[in-house]
Amino acid sequence: MYDFSKMTGAIHEWLSSLMPSVLVTTVEWILIGVVFLALFAILGLVLVILERRIAGFFQFRLGPNRVGPQGMFQTVADTVKLLLKELVSTDKVDKFLYNVAPFFVIIAPLMIMAVIPYGLGLTAYDINIGLFFVMAISSIGVIGILLAGWSSNNKYSLIGAMRSGAVIISYELSMGLSSLLAIVLLAGSLNLNDIVMSQEAGWWLFRGHIPAVIAFIIYIITGTAETNRVPFDLTEAESELGAGFHAEYSGIKFAFFFLSEFVNMFIIAALAATIFLGGWLPIHIPGWEGFNNIMDYIPGPIWFFLKTGAIIFLLMWFRWTFPRLRIDQILTLEWKYLLPISLLNLVLMAFVVMMGWVF
């Protein structure tokens, strides 16, 4: 198993030999920030072209096929277009909140990406309350959406923002209660690295019996709602609101909202892979020692991104399969069905753990 803490430790020692400890910390912060900003941008480029390809596959068409080989540079061309576009706004907007809102939307996913374990010893900010930190920071994103909708001085933007606030705040309850707390009961820790290591004997999705499967299904449903994706995209509903809360944004500010949706989808998938599918741990089959030894040669980050990619494909599959729900249907699904099921499932999981019925 690859341990990347040796690599990060070597970089720290090299920097310590060149400069004082205060500067070492500052330089390390800057390096980590640059790495995550680069990852943020790359994820946006890759996931957008991937979504277009998957959309083409499900709709029996080619998808992007003009810019670059097989249309692979279409997203790059779109990014350049957005960067060169003029930033315009309507009259009577609240300029301060209007300009601040896009940064709230991208800061939240950047902070969450820091606590996700990408491999053994490859976590930027490893804290004991990592899962609680994720739930707390994820609530910041909705503030940016509410600010964007209210400050734009547009009734459609305001309606989209209000819908977003209602949906995200509602679905956070089921996500936290059923999915995340249920696995915390199994792992006995809020630390994401500890949760990964607790799955060395097998993924919690299978070892946690029926309550773990229910928690996973509810997590995927609520995660789709949290990212404002079909069939829960009432905040952007193009046929009703003309892009919703970011209707009055253009250029790079619009790109921030557009990019944050895909990065949030990556975070939802990454947490699913970490909590339910063993994170960066390789696939092991009991009794197949030769197979297990071969799997150990594959680095942990590759396993992590493969599992995350599988969940992302599932979320994209939803988008091009299900029709959009009405706002009353979305809230009814949460308050009348998902939340009661989540509470009962949490009690059931506590009973399973208490009885020691874990595989």
Segment 253-310, tens digit of pLDDT: 888 888 888 999 999 999 999 999 999 999 988 788 888 888 989 999 999 999 999 9
Range among 230-234, 293-297, 313-317 with highest mean pLDDT value: 313-317
Instruction: Decide if 108 is inside a domain.
Output: yes
* Token pair of 240 as six digits: 């009703």
Range of 309's domain? 88-355
Question: With 80 as the cut, is the pLDDT of residue 179 above it?
Answer: no
pLDDT score at 34: 92
Q: Among the residues of the chain, which ranges form H helices?
A: 5-16, 21-58, 74-84, 95-113, 130-138, 140-151, 155-174, 181-187, 192-197, 204-207, 209-226, 238-241, 251-276, 289-296, 300-319, 327-332, 339-355
User: What does pLDDT average to over the chain?
Assistant: 89
Structural domains of the chain, count: 1
Instruction: Decide if 176 is inside a domain.
Output: yes
* Token pair of 243 as six digits: 């892009």
pLDDT score at 219: 94
pLDDT band at 27 (very low <50, low <70, confident <90, very high): very high
Instruction: Decide if 9 is inside a domain.
Output: no
Instruction: Decide if 5 is inside a domain.
Output: no
Instruction: Decide if 144 is inside a domain.
Output: yes
Instruction: Decide if 167 is inside a domain.
Output: yes
User: Strand, helix or coil at 72?
Assistant: coil
Residue 275: exposed, middle, or buried by beta-carbon count in 10 A (0-12, 13-18, 19+)?
buried
pLDDT score at 309: 95
Instruction: Decide if 321 is inside a domain.
Output: yes
Q: What is the pTM of this model?
A: 0.93
Distance CA 145, CA 51 (A): 23
pLDDT score at 204: 92
Distance CA 178, CA 180 (A): 6
Instruction: Decide if 57 is inside a domain.
Output: no
pLDDT score at 241: 64
